[in-house]
Structure 1
Amino acid sequence: MHDDSALIASRIARTYRDRIAPAIRAEQVLIELDAWEAPDEPVPFGAVPRDGFRPIASGDAWGRPWGTTWFRVRAEVPSGWRERAEAGTHDIELVVDLGFIAGQPGFQCEGLVYTPEGSVLKGLEPRNDWVAVDAAAAHVDVLIEAASNPDVGSDWEFRPTALGDKATAGSDPLYRFGGVRLVLRDREVAALERDWSTLEGLLAVLPERSTRRAGLLRALERASDALDPDDVPGTAAPAREALSPALAAASPASTHRVAAVGHAHIDSAWLWPVRETIRKCARTFSNVLDLMDRYPDFVFAASSAQQYAWMKEHYPELFARIRERVAEGRWAPVGGMWVESDTNMPGGEALARQFVAGKGFFLRELGVETTEVWLPDSFGYSGALPQIVAASGSENFLTQKISWNETNVMPHHTFLWEGVDGTRVFTHFPPVDTYNSDLGAVDLARAERQNAERGISDLSLVPFGYGDGGGGPTREMIETGLRKRDLEGSPRVDFLRPDAFFAQARAGHPSPATWSGELYLEFHRGTYTSQARTKAGNRRSEHLLREAELWATVATVRHGAPYPADALRRAWETVLLQQFHDILPGSSIAWVHQQAEENYARVADDLEALIAGALDVLAGDGDQEVVFNAAPIALHGASALAAAPTRADGAGSSVREADGGYVLESDALRVVIDADGEIVSFVDRRAGREVVPPEGRGNVLQLFRDTPNQWDAWDIDHHFNRTPLAPARTAAIRIEGNAVVVEREVGRSSVVQRLRIAPHGSALDIETTVDWHERQKLLKLAFDVDVLADTAASEIQFGHIRRPIHANTSWDAARFETVAHRWLHVDEPGFGVTIANDRVYGHDVTRRARAGGGGATRVRESLLRAPVFPDPEADQGVHVFRHAVSTGGVLDAAAEGYRLNLPPRIRRGRPVEPIVRIDGAPSILVEAVKLAEDGSGDVVVRLYEARGARASGRLVPGFAVADARRTDLLERALESGSGDPLALELRPFELVTLRLRRA
């Protein structure tokens, strides 16, 4: 028998494309309209002038980059349309083509439709271009706020462009107006289109010679016969009848089940600035609300409390409607964080505050507590996160990004994720491998095919809707999902809230496997380094916030000074927003990072003023010279969390020229620097140990070609190691005061370094100033260490993680660039070396052969990159890095990290006793001291065990306490026994929050 399936499939495809889809819009009327262009930044609805509008026609150019144009649309509904609309056979719609271009929604022009009174109707996107008109309306009167956002990368090409910087984007129009039409939409044809699309989609995923596929081909062929190409509306009903048996065929009991969750992953900044994200949220959320009015089963999940807060501030009417749907249960706030944050680089307290701010907003404003952490697109997940999730009162975790791994495939999709402290959180990776699904056959087949737990758990989650740039679900997606609730050949689709999905997933998989440690993304490793100024601003802001909260708390408790809660909250919200996973990682357009740097400068000014005010209160009229030390760990006799009189350091440091090099010495160290400015000897005098291996070097600047295969700002690919460039050239070296100053040239850039013994005498401080003028280059600072280390300990939130240095397995080899916070430590039994920093996150640690036998370790800090997309001017200019090299254990490493990032403040005044201290356990560190979020005046202390070992100690308050309780991150009391909450018995890396009510 002749196989004519290809011919049938061709006919089916053409019938859909050329006959059915065009016939949905039965009649159309082009509308004349006019437009007004805002002169600069967007204006609110109330500021749009009544006059000043000019006619605009289809084909006219409009929209300078990042501009806003208001279109005024007025039209009469044609006679006869209303009768058909009121009869329920047709819908009247306004269809708008702003000049949409091919490509994904969210990366080009968009619009928001208003009534003449200023109420939001819905958003306009390339694939969501319609606005409903009331069936009884005789005329249409709306305004459209259109954003002419440039398409700067939706097709993922390497396209360095000036459009990402408003200052260089120019003013030439980007789009040609496509026109506005009043349309009569045929409901029966629209239903046929979804029937047809749903079944035709299955043809692409079913086995070539399967019975079901053959049946679908014949059903669609019969429907093609029933459809009159000259009268599609008149024959749509018999065509649908021909398809009804195929649509009614039920799936077998063993079919994979899909929890379809409406979603719109909206990046809080990326290829657009934050101000545009606010408008993207309004467009997307108004679309969702419109769909909820039409589809009672449709549910939607949206994360990021910041985005809800924007709606409350800028679109209060829209926020009120969202609040109603949340109360109804169909709109699900998820995530519990202020934004979908990066989790690699925020410090411990900052990551905790993502949940304090996020869950606090949801509880306060929406009356809900989120139980799941929703991070589909962040670039890897810290091993500290499970404990933070649990401490926030959340239970479940979702991401999709690990499916992007370049080398290894994660072995599970539903499992328990165990953090560095042993806390486990129930985790799901949607096997659909996208957070932008359309519920089409290809996506759902992939979800079933890739589900690693098939045979154990038959359920997975599918987030559907256009994302990244927003847009969200469409009515076509929902209609597709409704047809797949029980359809042979497709996974079963249920519209579920995320919490309902997790409840079912837990019940259906009571004994999941466990994955221990961080969820390292084998991709986007360059995000630890790109946009160094943004990273420096984050690091500095985190520590200024620590100081401001600490000293303000002491001033309030000891002297009754007003606590600046509102100012601190504003500063935190700015910092938390900028930890979003395309801002802090350095993967946004220039405009985003320029604004981030401006915001960090403003935060620094505000916090410095708060700190100065608190210190004025604390110092009083004393005349001693005192050191205010906000660090939680005492360093060489310094008082922690206190202000103590200054003292001579007693280090006996000196610098001299000798034997063609330079020698820096103290009681603890002897460091030799050669004529090139590199360290050739580093002797720990107390241990009698040389740190630099034979033929090794420290303080070596290395420049590499940095041309990633795919994503410039995101990626460092392993092949960079094979393309080193000319070594740094030393232009001058000299002694200035107590430092050796080295002037170098590397590539087209200049470097000035100052090397000196630290004031306490036990570390070498290196200040590196780089005037950077490279393109697609990577600058690393390398140290050879005479330690045979198996692992490297890298500081993460509330502790550290040990990663293997070897590359024995593909998993180990893929971790060729890793993240650390303030310090990285390598050791062998009895001896260790630390490299601490004040702004670096990217590192690599490798084993190297040691001259004379054995092995040594090389530690390299990634200082700067120069990607050209999405910001072609990334990191150009001057940067200052501070490092410290020292010996000791991990607590010594922690002390050096705090010293570099929390420089002491010296002023005249009176000593100040610690507000709290830890007795009996040097490894228990106080991370934050603040007043309670509820304004009660209670003192909140957050602390953790830092060594990775069990510890016993006691928190001793420096004020009278009426009551003490252990709480979660949101400062809610936890159930506890009758023991003393100030007596601390901590497991390794345990995080504890204590709430102290003042007497």
Structure 2
Amino acid sequence: MYPERALLQERLARFRRDHLEPAVVRDRVPLTITRWDAPGEPVPFDEAAAASYTRADIGDPWGRPWGTTWFRLTGAIPGAWHDQPGTRAELIVDLGWTGGPGFQAEALAYRPDGTIIKALEPYNSWLPVTGDAIDVLVEAAGNPDLNTDFRPSPMGDKATAPRDPLYRLRTVEAALLDEVIIELLADLDVLDGLMAELPESSPRRAEILAATQRAVDAVDPDDVPGTARAGRDQLADVLARPASASAHTVYAVGHAHIDSAWLWPVRETIRKCARTFSNVCDLMDRDPDFVFACSSAQQYAWMKEHYPDVFARITEKVAEGRFVPVGGMWVESDTNMPGGEAMARQFVAGKTFFLDNFGVDTEEVWLPDSFGYSAGLPQIARAAGARWFLTQKISWNQTNKMPHHTFWWEGIDGSKIFTHFPPVDTYNAQLSQDELAHAERNYADAARANLSLAPFGWGDGGGGPTREQLAAGRRAADLEGSPRVRFSTPRAFFTEARELDTNPPTWRGEMYLELHRGTLTSQARTKRGNRRSEHLLREAELWASTATLLRGAAYPYDELTELWQLVLLQQFHDILPGSSIAWVHADAERNYAAIQSRLEEIIAQALSVLGDSAAGSTMIANAAPHARDGVPAMAIGAPTTATPATVVADGDNHVLDNGSVRAVIDPHGRITSLIDAASGREAIAPGGAGNVLELHRDIPNQWDAWDIDEHYRRNVVELADASASEAAVEPDGSAVVTVSRDHGRSTITQRIVLRPGADALEIETVTDWHERQKLLKLGFALDVHAEHSSAETQFGHVRRPTHVNTSWEWARFEFCAHRFLHVGEPGYGVAIANDATYGHEVVATPRAGGGRATTVRLSLLRAPLYPDPEADQGEHRHVVAVRPGAGIAEAVELGYRTNLEPRRLAATQPVDPLIRIDNPAIVVESIKLAEDRSGDVIVRLYESLGGRADGLLTTGFPAGEIRETDLIERTPPEASGAVRTDGDGTALALRPFQLLTLRISPAS
């Protein structure tokens, strides 16, 4: 930069600081302040308004952590203010802000009648004035800032948080604002930002700099209000110069990403939503061009229940097309860990809410902040009627940069969804010139369609879009040197982008986030609660449907809907991943316990209806798919009569054998041999072992609960020494070896079980865990030359290479698997199933004697310190099953069997399954009654092996019409051709991994 230019810009900065900004407020008067501190949790407005208030003063401390203080502000507007044109009166409230918005004190302002005005946040600290008398009640939340210092803090648990106030009241006044000076400052903000992005030698930059100097010359520092208009006039020409024909176009969409829980509990999220949404509605009343997009049906439902006046305003704005529901999901959930049916229900619940309440059918998936996107998601989204997908989080990748910003994303079944990845690289944009310039420079697909989307507004309770952001966007609508800005809806952007981009590239498979890998393991109790709840829900629906169809019992629609919605809420991308404060996870664990109790009661009631206690004969409802029909949770048969397993000593080793599987366990609990009788082949690699417990140092570079960084591998201790070992055959005929280990302050007890007739060895690990910043893994060295691993994802499995040829493969050192992982070579493989584990690692390793083997490790436990310093402390239970000689079909079956326990049913005769399919490759994932309460039966099934599958579907109840639907149980615009009904039943022809939803009307 030339010295003269630096001096000129320094002059401009000082003139703004010393003369323009202080002149914005022409006059001010203090208000009278009184206060009332709510004694515990937040209270309704009526209770707060009726409380006894005491005097408060500027400088007073307030806001104990998680507490609520109500302030009453009263006063009057001076009559002289009415006679000053070009001004407006507002209330200015500074509660003692300590930084940026969203992670500290926030407030909601009410009129005396209880109607909401708007919210107060650090960058939105004003309230409108109507009339001369001022009487406002302010509900101020003393939320602690847990985001600025990534160290352990007691603040994340209300029980351990200190009691001292966090804030001091700084400003409470009525102010008369000069509107011309405000506009002049907005002009200068945009032009100053634009100059910073232009090359130093740019004539446009020199032109703008000269204009700003003329503006400074035109404004008299002794009479800023009287000369500010002259300053604006000097800038009019440079602001009117149009953008170039090739300028990038940014579709600016108002937004406020609000985590449904994170560094605050769910109860505070409800208040954050009310604050932001009231701001948004107020801004819409003032600016007819403002459009706001908001996802998460759960957040709308909270408004409907807790803030009906806010919901009424939202409903009005939705009808105007300016408050735009997007996403179609119940929450912005994690997509790695939810099971297939749960992922489907995110859309069923979300889209149904939007349709029922607003008549809006959302067509985009809106997930800017989730921690990676599963390969099964494109098919689920398309089956729900979505056409477009938006995310931003992949810009956080540590190693590789996504090659595209607008592209087709293809899932495991071949379904494609048109996807945009905003090059602005933030979902909280301010529409500043540096952000707009970054979006233009960063956009990878400009040759095909030179436009992108930018979500703008303060998130997480920061209040959403502001007047200042709208002012910046308007000035950049058509400005030389800047990308064009167009205020828009997501639908308008996606429609135009798709029309212009006629040949987008394709990205196939998962969009793996090269960061936050630890979220697959942190807060193990939350993950176990989710897995157990998913399976209990599908069991409850199936047994309740059976009782309704076969015995005429009432179907518990309302209770199942309520429980599903609670489970879906807790799949939010900072709850299920384990990255929230202690309060959030304590609530989640209590919720899961209640969910389990209520679902067990529903199941018991259905079984009671189906059974006949007088008959006294006990049948077993086998919870896994079985060889003939692939239907989970429905096969009825007698208790097993398989020959008991044996356990014998062989030196220091124990040998378990049941005729199908033979396992050798050494004194340290390691599996040194595992052979299935069918193949006679050894599954354990030469010199290797299975059931190897390893403890790693786990100190991420930054984000404790979120990250596992690659350097963890370089610090590992094998927990080889057993403190106790014993073997026995139990009364049910199972051979069991029990091994105990002590390490540090933790104790690990394992039961290695071979059941009569079983084809898999089970390992139950109970850990009393008291480590800090450690990672516990369970490993298996397998004598398998596997080029790929196959890990279950929603409605199928995803294959990942075991080698590391590229940086993309290197970065995928920890990945997600659902119920099973399979590694194999032609003709032989091993399946490993789990009951609550998601983090996995698979690596190719040298094989003693030549060739290569494959090592599989499951991540059982972590011990992060932030944001919950007590994360995962205490007792945990994990079950892993290992089946040698298994293909993918056996892995699918083992995954179900490990997660669904048998149900006992007293009945005079077996209860036939509601649905049978004669091809086990076609798996029935769920059976329920239709959401519209018509009594129709909804069946969700999928092809599980990755190949084509034909099958005949028959029903265990009199059935009428059988037709294909989408996930929302509507007739799809185009049928897949997978269903053909004739006199013998319903023929199915599924392509690889195809997901299919059927609606079956019972015969009348």
Normalising TM by the smaller chain, what interval? over 0.9
Change over 3 Å in CA distance of 1:470–1:651 after alignment to 2 = farther
Structure 2, unmatched stretches of 5+, are none
Q: Is the 8 A contact 1:918 1:953 kept in 2?
A: no
Q: Deviation at 1:960?
A: 1.1
Q: Is the 8 A contact 2:633 2:900 kept in 1?
A: no
Deviations 1:213-234 (A, max 9, x none): 1111111111111112222211
What CA distance in whole angstroms lies between the structure 2 residues aligned with 1:586 and 1:639?
Answer: 32
Change over 3 Å in CA distance of 1:751–1:22 after alignment to 2 = same
Match for residue 300 of structure 1?
A: 292
Q: Deviation at 1:938?
A: 0.4
Deviations 1:698-720 (A, max 9, x none): 10000000011111000000000
Deviations 1:375-414 (A, max 9, x none): 0000000000000000001100000000001111000000
Match for residue 509 of structure 2?
A: 517
Match for residue 970 of structure 2?
A: 972
What CA distance in whole angstroms lies between the structure 2 residues aligned with 1:179 and 1:9?
Answer: 32
Aligned pairs, number: 990
Match for residue 985 of structure 1?
A: 989
What CA distance in whole angstroms lies between the structure 2 residues aligned with 1:272 and 1:509?
Answer: 41
Deviations 1:303-361 (A, max 9, x none): 00000000000111110111111111111100000000000000000000000000000
What CA distance in whole angstroms lies between the structure 2 residues aligned with 1:448 and 1:829?
Answer: 49
1:625 aligns with 2:638: no
Match for residue 372 of structure 1?
A: 364
Which of 105, 121, 128 is 1:109 aligned to?
105
Q: Deviation at 1:640?
A: 4.9
Q: Is the 8 A contact 1:618 1:910 kept in 2?
A: no
Aligned letter for 2:596?
A
Q: How does 1:98-247 map to 2 (within 5 A)?
A: 98-102=95-99, 104-134=100-130, 137-153=131-147, 155=148, 157-247=149-239
Q: Deviation at 1:693?
A: 1.1
Q: Deviation at 1:934?
A: 0.5
Match for residue 884 of structure 1?
A: 881
What CA distance in whole angstroms lies between the structure 2 residues aligned with 1:666 and 1:836?
Answer: 20
Q: How does 1:221-300 map to 2 (within 5 A)?
A: 221-300=213-292
What CA distance in whole angstroms lies between the structure 1 residues aligned with 2:95 and 2:838?
Answer: 43
Which of 68, 91, 94 is 1:97 aligned to?
94
What CA distance in whole angstroms lies between the structure 1 residues aligned with 2:424 and 2:244?
Answer: 20
Match for residue 8 of structure 2?
A: 8
Which of 464, 473, 495 is 1:503 aligned to?
495
Match for residue 326 of structure 2?
A: 334
What CA distance in whole angstroms lies between the structure 1 residues aligned with 2:290 and 2:905?
Answer: 62
Q: Is the 8 A contact 2:980 2:988 kept in 1?
A: no
Match for residue 47 of structure 2?
A: 47
Q: How does 1:11-50 map to 2 (within 5 A)?
A: 11-50=11-50
Match for residue 683 of structure 2?
A: 691
What CA distance in whole angstroms lies between the structure 2 residues aligned with 1:3 and 1:16?
Answer: 20
Q: Secondary structure in 1 aligned to 2:931? A: coil
Q: Secondary structure in 2 aligned to 1:55? A: strand
Match for residue 907 of structure 2?
A: 909
Q: Is the 8 A contact 1:640 1:914 kept in 2?
A: no
Q: Secondary structure in 2 aligned to 1:520? A: coil
Match for residue 74 of structure 1?
A: 74
What CA distance in whole angstroms lies between the structure 2 residues aligned with 1:639 and 1:526?
Answer: 34
Match for residue 474 of structure 1?
A: 466
Match for residue 544 of structure 1?
A: 536
Q: Secondary structure in 1 aligned to 2:752? A: strand
Match for residue 751 of structure 1?
A: 748
Q: Deviation at 1:962?
A: 1.7
Deviations 1:479-524 (A, max 9, x none): 1101111001110000010000000100110110000000000000
Q: Deviation at 1:478?
A: 0.3
Deviations 1:54-84 (A, max 9, x none): 1111111111100011101111111211233
1:682 aligns with 2:674: yes
Q: Is the 8 A contact 2:632 2:925 kept in 1?
A: no
Aligned letter for 2:751?
R
Which of 420, 434, 443 is 1:442 aligned to?
434
Which of 558, 568, 571 is 1:576 aligned to?
568
Which of 990, 993, 1000 is 1:996 aligned to?
1000
What CA distance in whole angstroms lies between the structure 2 residues aligned with 1:746 and 1:254?
Answer: 65
Q: Secondary structure in 1 aligned to 2:836? A: coil
What CA distance in whole angstroms lies between the structure 2 residues aligned with 1:712 and 1:649?
Answer: 50
1:741 aligns with 2:733: no
Change over 3 Å in CA distance of 1:2–1:455 after alignment to 2 = closer
1:526 aligns with 2:518: yes
Q: Secondary structure in 2 aligned to 1:729? A: coil
Q: Secondary structure in 2 aligned to 1:572? A: helix
Q: Is the 8 A contact 2:95 2:169 kept in 1?
A: yes
Change over 3 Å in CA distance of 1:864–1:55 after alignment to 2 = same
Q: Secondary structure in 2 aligned to 1:34? A: strand
Q: How does 1:779-858 map to 2 (within 5 A)?
A: 779-858=776-855
Aligned letter for 1:82?
H
Aligned letter for 1:590?
A
Change over 3 Å in CA distance of 1:138–1:897 after alignment to 2 = same
Bigger mean CA offset, 345-354 vs 615-624: 615-624
What CA distance in whole angstroms lies between the structure 2 residues aligned with 1:914 and 1:898?
Answer: 20
Q: Secondary structure in 1 aligned to 2:122? A: coil
Which of 422, 434, 439 is 2:414 aligned to?
422
Aligned letter for 1:986?
L
Q: Is the 8 A contact 1:677 1:742 kept in 2?
A: yes
Deviations 1:614-657 (A, max 9, x none): 010011233222112343x2069998543523233414411122
What CA distance in whole angstroms lies between the structure 1 residues aligned with 2:631 and 2:997?
Answer: 22
Q: How does 1:924-935 map to 2 (within 5 A)?
A: 924-935=922-933
Q: Is the 8 A contact 2:150 2:703 kept in 1?
A: yes
Change over 3 Å in CA distance of 1:651–1:252 after alignment to 2 = farther
Identity %: 57
Q: Secondary structure in 1 aligned to 2:655? A: strand
Q: Deviation at 1:786?
A: 0.3
What CA distance in whole angstroms lies between the structure 2 residues aligned with 1:204 and 1:56?
Answer: 45
What CA distance in whole angstroms lies between the structure 2 residues aligned with 1:833 and 1:474?
Answer: 56
What CA distance in whole angstroms lies between the structure 2 residues aligned with 1:178 and 1:620?
Answer: 72
Q: Is the 8 A contact 2:106 2:461 kept in 1?
A: no
Deviations 1:265-314 (A, max 9, x none): 00000000000000000000010111111111110000000000000001
Structure 1 length as normaliser, TM-score? 0.98
Which of 333, 337, 342 is 1:345 aligned to?
337
What CA distance in whole angstroms lies between the structure 2 residues aligned with 1:980 and 1:885?
Answer: 40
What CA distance in whole angstroms lies between the structure 2 residues aligned with 1:846 and 1:651?
Answer: 37
Bigger mean CA offset, 425-434 vs 684-693: 684-693
Q: How does 1:348-367 map to 2 (within 5 A)?
A: 348-367=340-359
Deviations 1:807-856 (A, max 9, x none): 00111111000000011000000111011000000000001111111100
Bigger mean CA offset, 739-748 vs 606-615: 739-748
Q: Secondary structure in 2 aligned to 1:940? A: strand
What CA distance in whole angstroms lies between the structure 1 residues aligned with 2:622 and 2:324?
Answer: 44
CA-atom RMSD, angstroms?
Answer: 1.5
Aligned letter for 2:429?
S
Which of 384, 396, 401 is 1:409 aligned to?
401
Structure 2 length as normaliser, TM-score? 0.97
Q: Is the 8 A contact 1:726 1:747 kept in 2?
A: no
Bigger mean CA offset, 754-763 vs 29-38: 754-763
Deviations 1:526-571 (A, max 9, x none): 0000000000000000000010000000000001100000000010
Which of 582, 604, 615 is 2:607 aligned to?
615
Change over 3 Å in CA distance of 1:652–1:315 after alignment to 2 = same
Change over 3 Å in CA distance of 1:51–1:951 after alignment to 2 = closer
Q: Is the 8 A contact 1:533 1:879 kept in 2?
A: yes
